[in-house]
Amino acid sequence: MEFGIFGAGDVTRDPVTGRTPTEAERIDTIVRTAKRAEEVGLDVFAIGEHHNPPFVPSSPTTLLGHIAAITERITLSTSVTLITTNDPVRIAEEYAMLQHLAKGRVDLMLGRGNTVPVYPWFGQDIRKGVQLALENYNLLHRLWREDVVDWEGNFRSALQGFTSTPRPLDDVPPFVWHGSIRTPEIAEQAAYYGNGFFANNILAPHGHFERLVAFYRQRYAHHGHGTPEQAIVGLGGHVYIAKKSQDAVKAFRPYFNGFPMFSGNSLEEYMKLTPLSVGSPQEVIDKTMTFRERFGDYQRQLWNVDGMGLPVEAALEQIELLGTEVVPVLRKEMAALRAPGVPEAPTHASLVKAKYGDAQPRRPRPNPNRGDNVTGASPYQDSDPAFAARYPQVG
């Protein structure tokens, strides 16, 4: 099972000091938390995509590409990639490039987003959000698996003989999670393709996501990918840890009370009624284990540990406590309870092994009749005699 952290990259005033970080400082914080997550042994770092203040990660591939250069092991992902307002061609190109730069340490979570104005900013209609998500992923799925694509849909111009470049590393696309908090069509989409389903599991009352995850599991089995228990599930969470429970509550309270999303709510009630975990390492362990009781065995647990105006020192301390005192115990306890046959979270290495076994990965062959724009020459003719013999007219 994988454990990690995720965030939205908000630039928020610290209610204790009254200071608001600059955008440059916030971006630096994101990079520092990702690096620290790897140092303490976490498996995943994920960041969202936003195009409105007070958020800064408008280009997650740029940010994750930088993080890839200063890390070696941790999987880099998104807590949302906007499948509705991004062009799927650009998603195919940008995340394949990131996959190469990170040597396969990349997956992504697709979502519709929750900011209404973003749709018209990018020329889309929020009332067609579900249709956009379904059609755009259908195209993305093909772009990563077919060397040459002919396609026509409702939301972008048609493609004729199109090859997305670079091709996925080892001809194996990044693994895709579909994130949703309420939409069965998205759970069905994840199940149909055999992809992962991520339930954010924050803010809402206990059990809010249980029916949606159960539906995804049933449909995953219906589409022939395995048993319901073998479906690939990820959960979110929100955590604040201190050595002593009362210290955690005391330190977190001003950030909870000062954050607009929690306005009018009691911290104690929120801790009791939602998956929010505030307390000692053992209390966080105990609460996280209840997630398994509600959702069954799952593959990925991510927590939000920064934002809300928390200073970077506090975020780094949270990551330290997760990596040294919480996650090692959860790994053992989750593994001891894990049912036989439940798969681990997919990685690039496991996907390559599943596709090729011990054979060498296939080298993609884009359309031989589409050379470069100046000479028309194919880059494959000179480097591959068999290719040149088969297509002597190219060059």
Strand partners, 2: 300
Q: Which residue type occupies 39?
A: E
Pick the CATH number of 2-364 from 3.40.50.850, 3.30.70.600, 3.90.1300.10, 3.20.20.30: 3.20.20.30
Q: pTM above 0.85? A: yes
Angle between helices 184-193 and 210-222 (to 10 degrees): 30
| Residue 384: predicted pLDDT | 52
Distance in Å from the first CA to the final CA of the chain:
50
The whole-angstrom separation of Cα 90 and Cα 101 is 16
Is residue 269 predicted with pLDDT exceeding 90?
A: yes
Better pLDDT: 373 or 264: 264
Better pLDDT: 35 or 392: 35
CATH 3.20.20.30 domain locations along the chain: 2-364
| Residue 374: predicted pLDDT | 55
Q: Quick one: average pLDDT of 55-84?
A: 97
Is residue 390 predicted with pLDDT exceeding 70?
A: no
| Residue 378: predicted pLDDT | 55
208-221, pLDDT tens digit by residue?
Answer: 899 999 999 999 99
Q: Quick one: average pLDDT of 343-366?
A: 92
The 3-state DSSP class for residue 105 equals coil
The whole-angstrom separation of Cα 165 and Cα 159 is 14
The sheet carrying 44-47 orders its strands as 75-78, 44-47, 2-7, 300-303, 233-235, 196-199, 175-179, 107-111, 81-82
Q: Quick one: average pLDDT of 27-42?
A: 98
DSSP secondary structure of 261-297: GGTT--HHHHHHHSS-EEE-HHHHHHHHHHHHHHH-S
CB 61 within 8 A of CB 128: no
Position of tokens 């997630």?
291
Q: Which residue type occupies 114?
A: N
Strand partners, 238: 304
92-106, pLDDT tens digit by residue?
Answer: 999 999 999 999 999
